Amino acid sequence: MHKLNALIAGSTGYIGVQLIKLLVKHKNIKIKYLCGNSSVGKNISLFDKSLKSKKLPNIIKFDKKYLKDIDIIFTALPNGEAQKISKYLLKRNTLIDLAADFRLKKSSEYLKWYKQKHKAINNIKKSIYSLPEISGNKIKKYKIIGCPGCYPTSVLLPLIPLIKNKSIQTNNIIIDSKSGYSGAGRSVHKKYKNKNLYESLSAYGIRFHRHNSEIDQELKNYTNSIINFTFTPHLTPMFRGILSTIYVDLKPGFSIKKIFKIMKKFHKKNVFVNVLKINSLISTNDVINTNYCNISICETKYKNKLIILSALDNLIKGGAGQAIQNMNLKFGFKINEGIK
């Protein structure tokens, strides 16, 4: 079977390593190049011992000359770097970015939230923001694919079906999300050196967390009503996983049973979304090391208010696994290939 050649730029970060661990199992992919900066010449097994037995190339510095024999470029780089690479794309190349370079559809919003000018404005319109359960086959038309952030994935998968069906109020949605510290990358210990990551829970990014822009942009695709939500992220003393707790008010005429039916019907064919029984108490432990998102709809003491729980692995469903899911959609592979 002919395999597609892949290049991974940013191969030594938590997301990059996770991506490699999944791609080595993908029967349609050959990892041709692994790229990095400070690790040039080293073997990727230094960053994960489980890759020692795999026949993988040593890490090299990225050069556009490598694109001539590459089908897919995965970029797990600091924000701004995938924009530069997008300018070099050849006809045969597809770029799948796991950072934020092609998540926002307005360069002005990118500047506002990421505090840097977009370096490939003309390529924004050539890109698609692809939450695979939502974008579906539309992805096939695009050569540049922006993968959602981990927090927005946990929020959009449960909220889009309800907003699309006009079943919840959109003027006061409260989102409380808790993530493992791997979501902050390998520099997390330097960035939060004054916090005890292993024994404390920390709120951060209140008001101006970058994922606010992404959530707002995508929810507005499904309603003409004003979207008002409050999003508060937290770092937890665990390595991986996200649990989002979302508080919503029902519109008149809707009950928890109707909400459950709407969610269940929407995600019926989405193999990586599990809508659990009403009032299921879910845990990140249920989804760790998988590409699944588990969703539970729970009652409160008020009939018109519900709590929605959403759990996923930030490095897989919120990162590398979702990127592979997008690739599978783009190239017509089995949707669960490499991420079973």
By the 8 A CB rule, do 237 and 201 touch? Answer: yes
What residue type is 237 in one-letter code?
P
What residues does 310 pair with on adjacent strands?
Answer: 244, 295
Q: What are the residue numbers of the active site?
A: 150
What separation in angstroms does the CA of 96 have from each of 20, 115, 163, 194? 14, 22, 28, 35
Contact in structure between 261 and 278 (CB atoms under 8 Å): no
Helices (H), ranges, the chain: 14-23, 81-86, 107-114, 121-124, 132-135, 150-164, 188-191, 211-219, 256-266, 321-331
Residue carrying structure tokens 């890759």: 51
Q: How many CA atoms lie within 13 A of 155 on its CB side?
A: 29
Contact 338, 313 (CB under 8 A): no
Q: In the 8-state DSSP scheme, what is residue 148?
A: P
Which DSSP letter does residue 296 get? E
* Helix (H) or strand (E) segment spanning residue 52: none
Helix 256-266 crosses helix 150-164 at what angle (to 10 degrees)? 110
Residue 333's contacts (CB-CB under 8 Å, 6 or more residues apart) are 28, 327
- Tokens 């939060």 correspond to what residue? 192
Which residue is listed with tokens 């990059």?
Answer: 16
Spatial distance between the Cα atoms of 29 and 5, rounded to a whole number of angstroms: 6
Question: What tokens does 11 get?
Answer: 């191969």
Place of tokens 């493992």: 180
